[in-house]
Each structure stands twice: as C-alpha cells, then as structure tokens.
Amino acid sequence: MSDLAGLYQELILDHAKRPHGYGLVEHPSAESHQLNPTCGDEITLQLNVADDGTLTSVTWEGHGCAISQSSASLLAQLFDGLPVSELQPRIDSFRTMMRSRGTIEPDEDLLGDAAVLSGASKFVARVKCAMLGWVAAEDALAKLK
C-alpha cells in the first residue's frame, strides 16, 4: 500500500463523510473547543457522562480535513459506553502512535478502529490534524475532574 493509500484508507474516508457523534447537545458534562491556527481546523467536542461514571456519548462539531474529521469520529465511536477512567490511557496510546512517525505498531486493544490513523503518523504535517479531537477530549476530560 502506498503512503497515500495508507493515509486515506476507506475506513477514514467513510468516517469523514459519515461522522459518528456529529451534532452538539445542549447540556454536556464537559466541553472543549480546539483550533489549529495553521490550517483553521476547528472542533467543539463534548463528553456526556451518566451518574455511574460511564460515558454515554461523545458529541462534536467541527470542520477540517478528512484526517481531523475522521479522527474525531473514530474517537467518538471508540469512547461511547466506556467508563470515564478508561479514556486517558487511550488518549495516551493514540498520542504515542501519532508521534511515532509510523515506527510502532498501534495498540488495537486500546484504540480499536482508530488504529487505522497510524498511517497519518508518517506525515508529520498531518499529526496535528489527527490529534485535534483527542486534544479536545483530553481537555474536556480534565474539566470533568
């Protein structure tokens, strides 16, 4: 597979076109807005948490490239239904994967389908695109505590 095909896998393009969790709710448990000033990509991401500490849903809105949009969608799909305590290890694992320049195998147990974004880690200029939603989730998570 070429690097370009690795970057834009079918799963990524599908998520970019039909994003999971798209659309904001009125009263989220926590919310974060992030902006990538170099390209203008923007995201508002919300965590919605039930009383028992389970994340019922991640909701978000934003605009940007296929990488940033699919990444947020894959995050939302991955996080839905998880205990809040399990989010940070997954964010850490995703960041490690994205900073690896394609040198390490992604941890699919932790990242699920989001491991597909490992192809983007070879493109240094696109790492920030992929990280945008995850940085928003981390920021929102910190606000929960």
Contact residues for other proteins (CB under 8 A)?
Answer: 2-4, 7-8, 13, 17, 38-42, 63-67, 123, 126, 129
Cα angle, residue 128 at apex, residues 81 and 103 outer, rounded to 5° = 85
| Complex with other proteins: residue 12 or 47, whichever CB lies closer | 12
CB of 4 to other proteins, least distance (A): 4
Count of residues making up the chain: 145
CA 116, CA 28: separation in Å to the nearest integer?
Answer: 28
| Complex with other proteins: residue 14 or 86, whichever CB lies closer | 14
CB of 16 to other proteins, least distance (A): 8
| Complex with other proteins: residue 7 or 47, whichever CB lies closer | 7
Cα angle, residue 15 at apex, residues 83 and 36 outer, rounded to 5° = 80
Cα angle, residue 25 at apex, residues 79 and 92 outer, rounded to 5° = 25
CB of 124 to other proteins, least distance (A): 12
